Amino acid sequence: MRVLVTGAKGQLGHDVVHLFENAGHLVLPCDRDSLDITDGAMCLERVQQFKPDAIIHCAAYTAVDQAETDVDAAYAVNAVGTRNMVLAAERVKAKFCYISTDYVFDGTNVSPYQEYDNTNPQSVYGKSKRAGEILVQSLSSTFFIVRTSWVYGLHGQNFVKTMLKLGQEKPILNVVNDQKGSPTYTVDLATFLLELIQTEKYGIYHASNTGECTWFEFAQAIFEEASVILRKHYMAQVEPCTTEEFPRPAQRPRYSVLDHMAIRTNGLQDLRFWREGLKDFLRELSKHH
């Protein structure tokens, strides 16, 4: 297949490009420098030149706290940019895969969110990503919307890397223990996208590593696994705290565990348990350091 990937230099995009190329697909990686997704004419031109069979749209405005004051920029990328890419995809009859987020939910659930549960985003970031979903649903005839959560990978900044760095610098780390979700390793998500994109099982999917934990439990697991795999000593003592003790501009969903009903009902391969993904990530990290 010919596959165009936006946001190719980002955390997920990087692994998508690598994995798809390894699987023998012809990939056109696009990043901010080579494709301005907010420019509709440019999107159309690039897509018509390459004529992809599928577009994986990883590009997004993801600065969650900054989005609260930078509203127009968040919508320009997440809504307008997505619309531009969808319209271009339709012109060449390409499948369209939009990467979305757990932030489209309000986080008040006590059981995992299913794909067709009502969305109710509370942050500008969440609302702008939901706007992107709506545009994909209304403008694309062959789409996949893939919502994921708590993403980390080798390329880019993320919670795991931050913890490993702080773990060697600070004696005590306070980590939020009242927000629950599922950490997702980019390689596992990209592997799922590789399978999905070759089907015609269109619709909305929830794809995260399986199982759930709080950020505090995630941090504990990171240090437990890292001390074995990276053979480093971390002096940091991880202490649980509440969301209120750690105020941020954008509201986070308290509960954002995603139920993978669409993966099950469509007979696709589910992602593995989150802790297995974490171990593999740390093994990869150890090779690069």
| Residue 206 contacts residue 261 (beta carbons within 8 Å) | yes
Residue 219 burial (CB count, 10 A): 26
Structure tokens at 256: 């954002």
Residue 87: which of 48, 144, 32 has the closest Cα? 48
User: Which spans in 100-141 are helix H?
Assistant: 124-139
Among the options 75, 125, 185, 205, which is catalytic?
Answer: 125
- Using CA atoms, how far residue 139 sits from 42, 86, 96, 132, in Å, is 18, 7, 10, 10
Dist. CA 76–CA 66, nearest whole Å: 14
Q: Which residue has the tokens 């969650």?
A: 64
- Structure tokens that stand for 222 in this block: 């990171």
Cα-Cα-Cα-Cα dihedral sign, residues 58, 63, 67, 70: negative
Residue 125 among the catalytic residues: yes
Q: Catalytic amino acids?
A: 125
